[in-house]
Structure 1
């Protein structure tokens, strides 16, 4: 597997020189300055590619070329936006950049309620608190029929929280859920928004009447439109699983489990229609056996995110150590090194540790925490490669002795 790293461009506080020193081989990035839906021009693509290559690295994966909301809910400008997307793909293909990670999650990208959940060792990590999220849904969004999505026990805890939560805590929750975890990755709402809840409600309203089947139809429509240009340039479109892999806020989520992935790959059965295998996102769903999914979909996987989660008894989940948790990353690496060994991979959602907290890094994208994770995974990869070599030696030896 190729060691890559998500980098947020020249303004990223983590420099390419730093990444080269810690053994990174490829860069995962995007043209974040270009608004969603606009064409990525050749000059901007080539300038970024050249800049990365001057630092001894290569632009391995685009993460991401965002799919506009109007494409997802089939707005009146959908075809125009898809045309722009096709032009951007063509420009990327001509530049030799051929792996595109994207998602089809309505309104929200990845969801966490806490971005600095403290641990006893002084480090911190991302955390999803189901009761906090339900409180946000019921009392802040005031979504119609929201209470139907939660159990009586959960609703009772929400009401307890409602009695004790402070204004500061409430504002921090809003900021975390719809600004800090969204805005830095081409999100719909940025820190400049004065009324984030109001805008968020408007975005949710765009999906009124859009269920799982409608969203599936819209994804199929999008993929069928772009497959010819992908085939022409050998571009792999790699959909990212929903994070977390469950229904939220009444919005349809359609990449959550084995059945969803099977549907997607069959609905547009084309070699350019592939998967970003995110072990972390998939592990946050109790329905998912992550190694089994890796084994089943290894041949259609084009990019791998290596991280892991723990799911707590109350339904909360937290980012786990990269050698532990439901992601079973050691076994996942074994599967991909055997079945599809040349894939780009990146570690993801590392802890905040040492002086990471004071650097202003994007949530989940620390330097020291991810560097530790990369070292752990690099050791796993080296061990697995030795295992595979030894197995091959034994096979050859047995054949000679027969």
Structure 2
């Protein structure tokens, strides 16, 4: 597989020469300066592509060309936004970019409650605590009827937390859930916005009356409308699974398991409608056998995210080592490297380690943590490619 790396553009503190030195071959990036819904000009795409190529790398995957919220909830401006999306896709095709990762998660992308949960070895990683999230949902957002989404045991623990949580911890939850992990991903909320809770609640209100079937219908409409452009330019659209893969905040999520993926690929049965196989997102759901899903959908996978989680029955999960956890990364490398070595792959959500802390990296996107993960995965790939026939 092609070894790629998510890079956040020229302002990223991790530079392309650094990535060249550690064995990265392809870059996964986007035109982050262009607001959601606006057309990506061909000139800007070509300038970014040329810049990447000047360091001996290639722009392998666009992640992401964001899908505006009004497309997801079918607002009155939906068709205009889809036309802009089609123009951006065509410009990407003209520039020779053929793989576009996107998601259809309403309002909020991946969700964590702690961006630096400590490990015994002194490193830290992203973490999701169901009770702290329930507190955020019920006490901070004060979402209507939110408590109905939690068990009696969860509510009891949430109320106990409410009695001891500090104001600083409340502010940190807000910053973690709806500012730091969203601003660089989808642009709905960004650093410096005043009263992010009010902005977030307004975004949630746009989805009143939108259930799973409605969101599926809206995704179907979006995909069938853009597929002619994908056919013309040979562009593979690869949807990212929901993270975590379950219903959150009263919002429908429709890419959570094998049945959801099966529906999506059959509803728009076009080879350009495919999947970003994210082992981390899928492994956070106890309903998912990640290696079985890889085999099931390998024919429609266009991009691979390799990471792993350790998840428990109480709803909590943490980013695991790339060698361990429910993501079964070594097994996935064996599957993809043997059957789809053409795919771009990137390691994901590395731990904070060594001098990563304080560098201002986007949450989950440290340098040393991902470099370690890349080295681990590269070793796995070598074993599959060069030593699968070796006898013990």
TM-score range (shorter-chain normalised) is: over 0.9
The separation in 2 between residues aligned to 1:81 and 1:270, in whole angstroms, is 22
Residue equivalent to 1:79: 79
RMSD: 0.9
1:320-339 to structure 2, matched below 5 A, reads 320-339=320-339
Instruction: Give the corresponding residue for 1:271.
Output: 271
Question: Would you say how many aligned residue pairs link Structure 1 and Structure 2?
Answer: 391
Deviates more, 1:240-249 or 1:178-187: 178-187
Choose 1 or 2 for highest CA Rg: 1
Give every structure 1 segment of 4 or more consecutive aligned residues whose post-TM-superposition deviation is greater than 6 Å: none
Q: Please give the alpha-carbon distance, in whole angstroms, between the structure 2 residues aligned to 1:257 and 1:20.
A: 35
Aligned to 1:171: 171
Match of 1:298 in 2: 298
- Which structure shows the higher helix fraction? 1
1:40-55 counterparts in 2 under 5 A?
Answer: 40-55=40-55
Residue 344 in structure 1 maps to residue 344 in structure 2: yes
State the distance in 2 between where 1:367 and 1:265 align: 34
Q: Quick one: distance in 2 between partners of 1:144 and 1:120?
A: 39
Give how far 1:345 is off.
0.2
| Residue in structure 1 matched with residue 239 of structure 2 by the alignment | 239
Task: Map Cα deviations across residues 358-398 of structure 1 (whole Å, 9 max, x no partner).
Answer: 2110000000000000000000000011244669xxxxxxx
Partner of 2:143: 143
Does the 8 Å CA contact 1:7/1:14 hold for their aligned counterparts?
yes
Q: Is the 8 A contact 2:286 2:313 kept in 1?
A: no
Match of 1:189 in 2: 189
Task: Say which SS state the counterpart of residue 93 (structure 1) adopts.
Answer: helix
CA–CA distance in structure 2, aligned partners of residues 273 and 389 of structure 1: 35
Residue by residue over 1:122-165, the C-alpha shift from the partner in whole angstroms, topping out at 9 and shown as x without a partner, is: 11000000000000000011111111111111100100110101
* Mapped partners of 1:141, 1:307: distance in 2: 30
The answer as to 2:254 corresponding to 1:254 is yes
| Residue-by-residue CA offset, 1:80-126 (whole Å, 9 max, x unaligned) | 00000000000000000010000000000000000000111111000
Report if aligned partners of 1:299, 1:339 keep a CA contact under 8 Å in 2. Answer: no
Q: Is the 8 A contact 1:32 1:186 kept in 2?
A: no
Q: Is the 8 A contact 2:35 2:187 kept in 1?
A: no
In structure 2, the CA distance between the partners of 1:209 and 1:355, relative to structure 1 (3 Å rule), is same
Residues in 1 aligned to 2:152 and 2:15: alpha-carbon distance in whole angstroms: 49
Structure 2 CA distance for aligned equivalents of residues 338 and 299 of structure 1: 13
The whole-number CA distance in structure 2 between the counterparts of 1:303 and 1:234 is 15
Q: Retained in 2: the 8 A contact 1:350–1:369?
A: yes
Alignment of 1:84-233 (within 5 A): 84-233=84-233
Contact 1:35 1:186 in 2 (8 A): no
Partner SS, residue 125 of structure 1? strand
Q: CA deviation at 1:166?
A: 0.6
Distance 1:358 1:178 in 2: 20
> Which consecutive unaligned segments of at least 5 residues does structure 1 have?
392-402
Contact 1:103 1:241 in 2 (8 A): yes
Normalised to the residue count of structure 1, the TM-score between the two structures is: 0.96
Structure 2 Cα separation of the partners of residues 314 and 102 of structure 1: 29
Structure 2 residues without counterparts, runs of 5 or longer: none
